[in-house]
Amino acid sequence: MNALVPLPVLLPLCVTGLKLAIGTRLMRFQRLFSVAVLAAVLVLSVILMIAADRQGPLSVHLGDFPPPLGITLVADRLAGLMLTVSSAVTLCVLVYSLGQGMADRDEETPLGVFHPAYLILVSGVSCTFLAGDLVNLYVGFEIMLVASFVLLTLGGTGPRVRAGSTYVIVSLFSSVLFLIAIAMTYAATGTANFAQLSQRLAEVPIGVRTLLEAMLLTVFGIKAAVFPLAAWLPDSYPTAPAPVTAVFAGLLTKVGVYCMLRTETLLFPGHRLGDLLMLAALLSMVIGILGAVSQTDLKRLLSFTLISHIGYMIFGVGLASRAGLGGAIVYVAHHITVQTTLFLVAGLIERRGGTTELTRLGGLAKGAPLLAVLFFVPAMNLAGIPPLSGFIGKLGLMRAGVQNGGEWAWLLVAGSAATSLLTLYVMAKVWNLAFWRDAPPGQKGEGSLLESDEDDPDDDETTRPVPAGRVVAATLSGRAVTTTSRLPRTMTAATGAAVALGLVYTVLGGPLTSYADRAAAELLTRGPYIEAVLAP
């Protein structure tokens, strides 16, 4: 079973090389191949998650070089769950992008640029979840950074290049800081392997250990978009194509949260920066949701809710108790799916209404009832309406805060409740403006495909003539497109699958909570992880 651990990293990389060799030929085969590979990664992730739950952490030393020389990959309960959720979400987003490419008649760009970069991104995400040392964690980040810049600047439009440049500059800064932290850690302990670090860091002077912890938290805080390190996010994500924004907002920020969970429990147990984390969690919750309240553009609004809800997860990390970590793990899995789904829906709204500016939308509940359902379910899930999974995660975190009983914990409980109410207000505002009220004057409630061939009898997804002033730049190649009176079936089906995945968490709320509790216990125990790496 240990031999399966590297495959979620290697499979997408190998297929990327093959796709680059093929180019844009054999389009149908390449589309099916991409879906099949991510489906295989999903199956592998489920197998690893179940095996890690039953047998304990699985580890492999590539090249058979033991630590600290070799590359160590480890799949424990936390990594298995994160791999499974991320694989399911990236598969949905890939299918969505296929639908967008076909609807926009932009099929060469997805195959020639988007697919290779996307598969590399998936490989980088898997690498970070499985990394057993700081160096390979850094490698995973850099793989993601390279792929991210390509995806954010797809099409080469001015706004996308500017947004991508901001993202890269911030990411490069965090990478340099990460390298410095790795060098200092190695100098202090003689290793970068997590299992060995968990033993040797206890012998390091407390001041040095606290400095290393602060540097790593800063790096991961930037990746996770924790306030005040989140200023780059609202301007970086909304300009990207819908599938890119969705996977970035839903998944990449959680990679930072995952790294916090891993390092704070394994390397810095009983950490001294818990109060600082709780302060950052509170500020992220409150300031993020207040930013969302002030927005009228749906994508920017969702970006601010993303910052706000990262605060819930940091709350659990700051508590560092079994209940707190378990609640954070549940919330991470829930939020990856729901936030991704909402950005996919935002892409459909843009395609249907021609804009994501809420003041220019209206009447979508009547004109596009399926789209209304696809938005309403994850929106209520994000707000934490019972019995949806968002409520399960928030309830677990609040209970953990009450059990802690400290001043910061009570402040976070109050902040969580207030943030939930404001999130409900924000989602209700979107619903009222975009879906429930009548369409504003001049907004007909239906769109058209710019640059379409209206004489094409086979085109059943775009049929209307072009109305003036209804241009949005949303294609993967940066062309001006594309509002449609009927939503593309493939994009709608992928979004529906993501909505259904979010509902699965509710149906399986009991098993999910139990699994997260076992994962939290494993993180706090540390012994099984260390033993699996050092004495496999």
Q: Pseudo-torsion of CA 324, 308, 158, 476, nearest 10°? A: 60
Q: What is the pLDDT of residue 445?
A: 47
Tokens of 101: 């490419």
Q: Please give the Cα distance from 266 to 254 (Å, whole number).
A: 18
Go through the chain and tell me how many residues it has.
536
Cβ within 8 Å of residue 57, ≥6 positions away: 74, 75, 76, 77, 522, 528, 529, 532, 533
**Cα-to-chain-centroid distance, residue 408:** 27
**Residue at 412: amino acid letter:** L
237 alpha-carbon distance from chain centroid: 12
**Burial call 428-461: b when 16+ CB within 10 Å, e when fewer:** ebbbebbbeeebeeebebbbbbbebeeeeeeeeb
- The predicted pLDDT at position 529 comes to 93
Contact 161, 202 (CB under 8 A): no
Where do runs of H (alpha helix) occur along 320-361?
322-353
E strands present in 348-420: none
CA end-to-end distance (rounded Å), the chain:
12
Give the CA distances from residue 445 to residues 100, 437, 439, 472, 499, in Å, rounded to whole numbers and listed in that order. Answer: 20, 12, 7, 15, 24
Q: How far does Cα 58 stand from its chain's mean position? A: 24
Q: Where are the domains of the chain?
A: 2-442+484-534
pLDDT < 70: residue spans in the chain: 107-111, 156, 271, 442-475, 477-482, 536
Give the contacts of 410 (CB within 8 A, at least 6 positions apart): 401, 402
Res 107: pLDDT = 65
Q: 131 forms bridges with which residues in the sheet?
A: 73
| pLDDT value, residue 469 | 40
Could you give the count of Cα atoms lying within 13 Å of 313 in the half-sphere of its Cβ?
28
Who's near 13: CB < 8 A, 6+ residues apart? Answer: 119, 120, 123
Report d(CA 216, CA 324) in Å as an integer. Answer: 21
Strands (E), 185-242: none
CA-nearest of 494, 474, 491, 492 to 483 is: 474
Q: Are 404 and 338 in contact (CB under 8 A)?
A: no
Of 275, 229, 246, 273, nearest in space to 341 by CA: 246
Beta strands in 341-500 (DSSP E): 472-473, 480-481
pLDDT in the model for residue 43: 96
DSSP-derived letter for residue 249 is I
Distance CA 284, CA 304 (A): 9
pTM equals 0.91
pLDDT at 479: 67
Which among 57, 95, 47 is positioned nearest to 77, based on CA atoms? 57
Report the distance separating Cα 373 and Cα 97, nearest Å. Answer: 21
What value does the mean pLDDT of the chain take? 87
- Supply the pLDDT for residue 111: 65
pLDDT of residue 507: 93
CB 282 within 8 A of CB 311: yes
Beta strands 58-62 and 71-75 are: antiparallel
What are the tens digits of pLDDT across the range 455-468? 344 444 443 444 43
Whole-angstrom distance, CA of residue 203 vs CA of residue 215: 19
pLDDT tens digits, residue range 382-419?
999 998 989 999 999 999 999 998 899 999 999 999 99
> Are 180 and 247 in contact, with CB atoms under 8 Å apart?
no
Question: Which has the closest alpha carbon to 352: 434, 427, 295?
Answer: 434
